[in-house]
Amino acid sequence: DAKTTQPPSMDCAEGRAANLPCNHSTISGNEYVYWYRQIHSQGPQYIIHGLKNNETNEMASLIITEDRKSSTLILPHATLRDTAVYYCIVRSTADSNYQLIWGAGTKLIIKP
């Protein structure tokens, strides 16, 4: 079962920052937070992951609270192409199989 809770949908204006929250209150010390997105039935795309420090790459920033019970994915300047379902996944690197357990995600709609 998914260990994360995300709002089912969100809207954001084009050019503004899109902030997608994720609750993972039962996260344990060796579990990472990963974000993927899926654009309209295409294969999911990896975005970013982190353990406890904030992370940034060319696509997004990941802010993890100090208690690690929640995180926020930030798309700094959203474009129409960012319209997608965004999945927050908690995953331990201690497990032997590394399968990803997917929740329902957040459907992000970027509006012109």
Give the binding site for another protein (CB under 8 A).
2, 32, 34, 41-46, 49, 87, 91, 93, 96-105
Q: Decide whether 32 or 63 has the Cβ nearer to another protein.
A: 32
CB atoms near residue 71 (< 10 Å): 23
- Nearest-angstrom CA–CA distance, 48 and 73: 9
Q: Select from 87, 81, 88 the least CA-distant residue to 109.
A: 81
| Smallest distance from another protein to CB 9, Å | 13
Q: How far is the CB of 94 from another protein (least distance, A)?
A: 10
Report, in Å, the least distance between residue 68 CB and another protein.
Answer: 17
Nearer to another protein, 13 or 101 (CB): 101
Pairing status of strand 106-111 against strand 9-13: parallel
Q: In terms of CB distance, is 53 or 93 closer to another protein?
A: 93
Q: What's phi and psi for 80, nearest 5 deg? A: -60, -30
